[in-house]
Amino acid sequence: MRTERSVRLEVIVLLLVLAALAVLRPGPLWWAAVALASAAVLAAELLNTAIEALADHLSPEFHPRIRVVKDCAAAAVFFAVAGAIGVGIALAVHLLRR
C-alpha cells in the first residue's frame, strides 16, 4: 500500500463502501457480493502490480511483448472494477426499490 497509489485508493473506497453497507444494512447476500467483488478488485490489482514489477525487472527497456503483458494485467483490473461497479449499481437499484 505504501508504494501503490491505486491500491490505497481501492482500500479507501472499500472502507467507504463498508461504512455505507453498515448504514444501509442490506441482506447478507449483498454483503457477500460486495466482499467478493472487492476481493476480486484487490486481487487483480495485486497481480497487476506483481506482473508489472516482474516485467520491469526482466526487461527494463521497452519491449512490445512486455507492453502487451502489462496492458493485459491492467485490463484485468479494469474488468474487476467494472464488475464491482456493476454489483454496486445492482445494490443501489435493490435498495431504491425497497
Do the Cβ atoms of 48 and 69 come closer than 8 Å? Answer: no
CA distance 29 to 21: 12
Q: All 3 cell numbers of residue 65? A: 511483448
In the chain, where the domains are located: 5-96
Active site residues: 45
Residue 97 DSSP label: T
pTM (two decimals): 0.88
pLDDT tens profile 29-83: 999 999 999 999 999 999 999 999 999 999 989 899 999 999 999 999 999 999 9
- What are residue 62's phi and psi, to 5 degrees? -65, 135
Q: All 3 cell numbers of residue 56? A: 520491469
Contacts of 51 (CB under 8 A, 6+ apart): 69, 70, 73
Write down the CATH number for the domain with range 5-96.
1.10.287.3610
> 3 pLDDT band (50/70/90 cuts)?
confident
